[in-house]
Structure 1
Amino acid sequence: MTSPEFTNPTTVDAATLRDLLTTGGDLRVLDVRTPGEFETAHIPGAYNVPLDLLREHRAELRAHLDDQVVLVCRSGARATQAGQTLAEVGLPNVKILDGGMLAWQHTDAPVNRGRSRWDLERQVRLVAGVIVLSSVLGSLLLPGLQWVAALMGAGLTVAALTNTCAMGMLLAKLPYNRGTASCDLTTIVGQLRETGARR
């Protein structure tokens, strides 16, 4: 159930976020993309808290998020889902980076870069396209296989209507998307405590 306070999330544009980060206020930027996407490019000082981990451990994370929070993903969809999740545990005043990392990079704001990987949305498009193309071409040899393409179309329709993506959640668990850095609850809470103690 979506929290009533989060039906219209507050957004912050890239230029405003950049100003907030340079003034050094009590602001935490949580990047909810996969560790692989985070390693490819992220906002300096951001914490990587993948969406699936945030959903599973929202109450534990909430205990360490009493400051201003800005949520970031590639374009804003996953950050909005993360905001709804945090609102359910009593943190409704989070902000979403409008346009996500795409908008941040478009303004030539500083970015920490690592090994380049495809973002999750691109991977979903590739897998969905391969499944549809293979099932349509395969139906020339095995009649009825085109129904796999129809099921994929239905799944993509549901994903669009619900603003969720089961295929994306599955792909996020692949080693390719896990990255090399440790991204578990203990590590994230330790990072949040460490920076909180320095303030």
Structure 2
Amino acid sequence: MTTTPVTLDAGQARARLHELTVIDVRTPGEYASGHLPGALNIPLDRIRSALPEIRHAAGRGDVLMVCASGARSERACGLLAEEGIRTATLTGGTGAWAGAGHDLHRPAACDTRAGWSMERQVRFTAGTVVLLGLLLGLLVHPAFQILSAGIAGGLVFSALTDTCGMAAVLGKLPHNRPRPADLAATLAALRRG
């Protein structure tokens, strides 16, 4: 049986933060760039492997799923609902949280270089490929403009389907991949409560 995820806005989440288990489903790089206080990082592509621990946490109290804008956390809530685990999502994600004036925490062990959000990585990569396609089309051969057209088509498809293939590919890069020890520590923290 599936359940419908509950949504909390930034104010509601802040008022209940002390009683929530917060799971940030962004990449480790995004998580390191700033997350809700006390949030644990389980990237969206690792949610299924963490089902027993999330179920355990949900048995103790409410679980709030968080991402940058709310789209990935809604997807995580859907995956968990298929497993009968009721969760909530933060409307607008960490962007709305920070926009409401609430602090984002950064791991103490992180270097001073801030990680880029996945949205920023996608914009940078798409823009770079479009410019490269246009330049190569002018300087080398017009056929290179197909690169720019391909990115434009991908962006339209991404908007229509609310998915992002480029983000999925970028999420597999080393700086966006979870370290096994980090996920193991997160899962242990969920089991302890």
Does the alignment reach a TM-score above 0.5?
yes
User: CA offsets per residue over residues 94-152 of structure 1, 9 Å max, x none?
Assistant: 21111111111122223212441111100100001111111122112212111121111
State the distance in 2 between where 1:88 and 1:151 align.
34
Cα gap change, 1:61 to 1:180, in 2 (>3 Å) = closer
Q: Does 1:18 align with 2:10?
A: no
Q: Structure 1 residue runs of 4+, over 4 Å off?
A: none
Q: How many residues align?
A: 185
Q: For the aligned residues, what is the CA RMSD?
A: 2.2
> TM-score, normalised to structure 1's length?
0.83
Matches of residues 4-83 of structure 1 in structure 2 within 5 Å?
A: 5-6=3-4, 9-21=5-17, 24-25=18-19, 27-54=20-47, 56-57=48-49, 59-64=51-56, 65-66=58-59, 67-83=61-77
Q: How does 1:41-190 map to 2 (within 5 A)?
A: 41-54=34-47, 56-57=48-49, 59-64=51-56, 65-66=58-59, 67-91=61-85, 93-114=86-107, 115=112, 116-140=114-138, 141-178=140-177, 182-184=181-183, 186-190=184-188
Q: What are structure 1's unaligned runs of at least 5 residues?
A: none
Quote the sequence identity (%). Answer: 39
TM-score, L = length of structure 2: 0.85
Structure 2 unaligned segments of length 5 or more: list them.
Answer: none
| Separation (CA, whole Å) in 2 of partners of 1:90 and 1:61 | 14
